Structure 1
Amino acid sequence: MANENGEIRRYKITVEYDGTDFSGWQTQPTARTVQATLEEAIQSLTQTKVAVHGSGRTDAGVHGRGVAAHFDLASPLLDEDLRKGLNAILPSDVAIHELVPVDSDWHARFNASSRLYTYTIVHRKEPLLRRQAWLLFGDINADSFTDLVPELIGTHDFAGFSKRREQDDHTFCHVFEAKWEQEEHLSRFTLRANRFLYGMVRCIVGGLIQVGRDSLGRDEFMKLLKREADIPIPMLAPAIGLVLEDVRYDPAERKVVGEAFRKVGAHPVPKNE
C-alpha cells in the first residue's frame, strides 16, 4: 500500500538476525547493535530519523528469527518496496521478512502476549550450526531432568534462574510451553513465556545440564524454581545457542497472564521489562 498523502504511519516489521557480531538488540553508544543497524538503514533509505521499538531486548550473541518491532514513518513507497529497499541496505546478518502498516497505538513490546525461545546444543562438531549452537562434549544424562522441564509451565518467580537487575519490578513470568527434545547428536530446549528475565533461558539450560551431569541435584533445581532455598544461580549457558524464534500477539494469552499475575500480585507488563 502506498502512502500518497505523506501521513505518518506505524509499521510492524518481522526481523531475522545472526547475533554473533552484535552487542545485543538495544542501541549502545559505541557498539554494533540490531536496533541501531535498523534505524541507520531506514534513515539512509528515507532520509528520516526514526526510532525502532523492539518486542524485546536480546543480549550480545543471541540470535533472532521472528523478532517483531515497529517504527513510525511518512514514506511514499509501497510497503513491499520499502521492505526490499531496506533489505538492500541492511548488512548480510540482518533481514526484514515482513513489513506491514498497523494501528497507530499498536506496540511491539506492550501488545506482545508471549515470546518463544529455543536453545540448541550439539554434541559433536556441526559446521553448519557453528554460529547457532553450543558445542558441548561429554555425557549428559537427559533422562535425569526431562521430567523437570514441564514443571516450568505456569506462573513462577524465576529469580533463581536470572542474573537479576536492580531495576526489575518483579521476577514473575508465566510459561506457556516448555520442552526438551533429545536426538543422537543434538539437544533442543524450547520455552514460551509472556516475558523473560535477564539470562533466564540460559540459566535454565545451564541448570538442566548441571542436573544431567550430577553437579546440581534435582531437588536443588526444584528449590530454585519454587524459591525455597537460597542457592546460587546455575551456570549460564553461552549465548551462541539461543534464538528468539517468535513473538505472539494473542488476546487470549494476555488474559491468561493477567489473571495469573493478579493472583500473585504482579503486573503483567513491568515498566522496566
Structure 2
Amino acid sequence: MTAKQRYFIELAYDGTAYHGWQVQQNAHSVQEALNKALSTILRQPIETTGCGRTDTGVHAKEFFAHFDVEGVDSPLSMDNGDETKGSHGLSTIDYGLKIRGLNSILPADIAIKNIIPVSPGAHARFDATLRSYQYHVHFNKDPFLRGYSWQLRDVPDMELMNQAAAMIMDYIDFSCFSKSNTQVKTNNCKISRAEWVKTEQGMVFHISADRFLRNMVRAIVGTLMMVGRKEIPPEAVRQIIESKNRSNAGMSVPACGLYLTEVKY
C-alpha cells in the first residue's frame, strides 16, 4: 500500500485577478493555480483542500490548505542525509527549496509562506477554530488603495456602528447575512470580535468567529453602514438578525476591501 504524507501549506494572495479561492469551471481561481504549481514541483497530481473559500476579488493575508503526497520517495519526503531532517524526512533546506520553487512558478499575486507536515487526519477546514477578517474603508481618493479598500464619500458614525456591532455578538444564527441557496448544515456562527477601528486613511472593521457563512462579512459591513449613515438606529440590527431574512439586511459591500487575516488551529 502506497504511503501518503499530509502537509499544510500557508499562503497569502491578492484576490483581484481571481474568481475566489475555489476551483470553478471557466474561471481562474487561486486553488487552481496552487494545484498546478504543486503538481509541477512534486511531479504528481496534487489536489488541495482550503481552510475556507473567499469570493471573487477578496484578499487573504493568511490562508491554509492541506494536500497529500504519495510515496515514501516523493520530493517532500526524500532522505538526503541532512542533519536538519525532521520526523517526516524533509529537511529545513528541502522546505526552503520547495517554497522558493513554488513561488518562482506561481503568479506574483500568490505567495507561499510555509509547508508543514501534519498527521493524516489533519484538516485545513474542519480543524480551524478561529477565522478573522478585516474590511478596509477610506475616504480620500488614493490610487494606491484602489482595489484594496472601499472609498466612501461621507464619513459614517463609527460610534453608532460599534454599538450595533456589539449587538451582533449576542446572536449565533446569522441567516440574514448569508448568501441565498448555500449548501450548509447550519447558519450558526460564534462571533468573538466585531469592532470598527479608526485608521490614518479611514477605518477598518475587525471580525472574528469560529466560522463564517458565504458573503456574511460583506453583508454585515453593509448593514453596519446603514447604521453609520443613520438610515436605521443601532437597535434595528437586532430585528434584522431575528428576522433571519437576507432582504432585510444591508447590501453586500465591494469585495476589494475584504481580507482574510488569520486562521487559528
Using structure 1 for the length normalisation, give the TM-score.
Answer: 0.84
Instruction: Tell me the CA shift for residue 20 of structure 1.
Output: 0.3
Give the counterpart letter for 1:73 in structure 2. Answer: V
Which runs of structure 2 are paired with 1:20-31 in the superposition (5 Å)?
20-31=16-27
Gaps of 5+ in 2: 77-93
For the 8 Å contact 1:121–1:188, the answer to whether it is kept is yes
Q: CA deviation at 1:153?
A: 2.3
Runs of 4 or more off by more than 3 Å in structure 1? 226-231
Q: Partner of 1:201 in structure 2?
A: 217
Query: 1:270 corresponds to which residue?
Result: none
The one of 32, 35, 38 aligned to 1:39 = 35
Say if 1:121 and 1:134, in contact at 8 Å, map to a contact too. yes
Q: Helix, strand or coil for the counterpart of 1:178?
A: strand
Question: Structure 1 stretch 139-148 or stretch 32-41: which is displaced more?
Answer: 139-148
Equivalent in the alignment of 1:73:
69
**Corresponding position of 2:86:** none
Deviations 1:113-146 (A, max 9, x none): 1111000001112333222111111131222222
How many Å separate the matches in 2 of 1:172 and 1:213?
A: 28
* CA–CA distance in structure 2, aligned partners of residues 35 and 229 of structure 1: 32
Percent of aligned pairs sharing the same letter: 36
Consecutive unaligned residues in structure 1, runs of 5 or more: 1-5, 250-273
Please tell me the residue identity of whatever aligns with 2:100.
Answer: K
Verify: 1:130 aligned to 2:146, yes or no.
yes
Taking only aligned residues, the RMSD between alpha carbons, in angstroms, comes to 1.9
Q: Whole-Å Cα distance in 2 between the matches of residues 25 and 184 of structure 1?
A: 30
Change (3 A) 1:22 1:112: same
Distance 1:162-1:47 versus aligned 2 partners, 3 A rule? same
Q: May I ask how many residue pairs the two structures share in their alignment? A: 244
1:59 equivalent to 2:58? Answer no
1:79 is displaced (CA, Å) by: 2.1
Shift of 1:151: 2.1
- Asked whether the equivalents of residues 161 and 224 of structure 1 are also in contact (C-alpha less than 8 Å), the reply is no
Letter in 2 for 1:51: E
Q: Which residue pairs with 1:217 in the alignment? A: 233
Using the TM superposition, give the Cα deviation of residue 168 of structure 1 relative to its aligned residue in structure 2, in angstroms. Answer: 2.4
Say which one has the larger Rg: 2
